[in-house]
Amino acid sequence: MVSLSYLFCVVVSLLDDPLSCHVQSKPEGEQKTLFVFGDSLFDPGNNKYLNASVEGGSLSWPYGETFFNQSTGRLSDGRIVPDFVAQFSELPILPPYLQPIAHQFTDGANFASAGGGVLVQTHPGTINLPAQLSYFKAVVKSLKKKLGDVEAKKVLMRAVYFFSIGGNDYFSFYSENPNASQSYRRQYVGMVIGNLTGVLKEIYDLGGRKIAFQNAGPLGCLPAMKARSPQLGSGCAEEPSALARLHNRALANVLKKLESKLPGFKYSIFDYYNALGDRVNNPSKYEH
Ligand SMILES: *[C@@H]1O[C@H](CO)[C@@H](O)[C@H](O)[C@H]1NC(C)=O
Ligand SMILES: *[C@@H]1O[C@H](CO)[C@@H](O)[C@H](O)[C@H]1NC(C)=O
Ligand SMILES: *[C@@H]1O[C@H](CO)[C@@H](O)[C@H](O)[C@H]1NC(C)=O
Ligand SMILES: *[C@@H]1O[C@H](CO)[C@@H](O)[C@H](O)[C@H]1NC(C)=O
């Protein structure tokens, strides 16, 4: 069974070289650094700093009630996955990149934005992946200024780059093209993966080596999708999930290809599709 603790283990071990699931005391100079790119699953509240109002209600109570005691802009009652990863890695919880505070970029940064996608045309007004990349480049600049090129490169090479992105591209595609042909769907997946690959290569060129992905979930099982088709009853909509599966296969292939082409590139994928799908399909397995 794929469990969330497996995810933490994978990401925390990427942060904690050599591979180990135990949190070790941090040797002198072994700064851990976590850069987060993504959508609502990973957004710690960036959207509340956008000029257009796109936060979608996450700024009101009871969001935040189980941990932060106030709404933070997270689409969660408590912590999101990057918060747990940071805590297990003994890093501070990363604030939203757009929060106007003095950031400690040697710890990393979280650029994720609820609604954001890989493609620029997905949900205008949110922070899409190309915009998140441009924020990351600004962080690289500031690290170089603070540490010098050589030390900054070391930090960037040791850092983990953690992604949850793509779901929104398929939500908007499906909403606009519910009956798309198989070849049009493949073409669209190719466009998403092509742009995502471009971003990964740029991060690699800037020093990034350790990539972690939470893949696309069973999109047809999400309440918003089920609500569109009341005739499904307790079932899930097949098409959106089929798009997510196409995407996840292509993502796994492209990461494998990058690993064989780019020296030092390594990655891990948390299979969120099946982890969440199993919880939706077999909830009794997860009852306490
Ligand atoms: C919001 O608008 C202000 C003023 O126009 C601008 O300086 C700022 O960069 C904008 N913020 C974002 C996140 O786009
Ligand atoms: C939330 O409130 C609880 C109970 O008062 C407290 O223990 C906890 O530290 C608070 N959490 C945060 C993040 O402030
Ligand atoms: C998509 O196809 C279904 C049946 O296959 C049909 O009921 C529906 O009207 C179509 N939707 C659009 C937007 O063409
Ligand atoms: C990236 O996406 C744009 C649409 O936003 C598309 O025109 C372009 O072909 C894509 N690039 C790749 C490399 O797939």
Cα–Cα distance for residue pair 137/142, rounded to 1 Å:
9
d(CA 224, CA 254) in angstroms, rounded, equals 29
pLDDT at 52: 73
What CATH number did the domain enclosing 219 receive?
Answer: 3.40.50
Q: How large is the average pLDDT for residues 196-201?
A: 98
pLDDT, tens only, 34-67 = 999 999 999 999 999 997 766 566 788 899 999 9
Task: Give the global pTM.
Answer: 0.91
Ligand 3 site, residue 190, Cβ cutoff 6 A: no
Q: Which pLDDT does position 117 carry in this prediction?
A: 98
Rounded to an integer, the average pLDDT of 68-83 is 96
Q: Which atom of ligand 4 is nearest to the CA of 193?
A: 14
Q: Which pLDDT belongs to residue 14?
A: 74
Regarding the beta carbon of 194 and ligand 4, being less than 6 Å apart is answered yes
Question: What integer pLDDT is reported at residue 283 of this predicted model?
Answer: 92
Instruction: Report how many domains make up the chain.
Output: 1
User: Which residue range is the domain that position 55 belongs to?
Assistant: 4-286
Q: How far is CA 106 from CA 88, 246, 249, in A?
A: 17, 36, 33
pLDDT tens column, 217-248 = 999 999 888 888 888 888 899 999 999 999 99
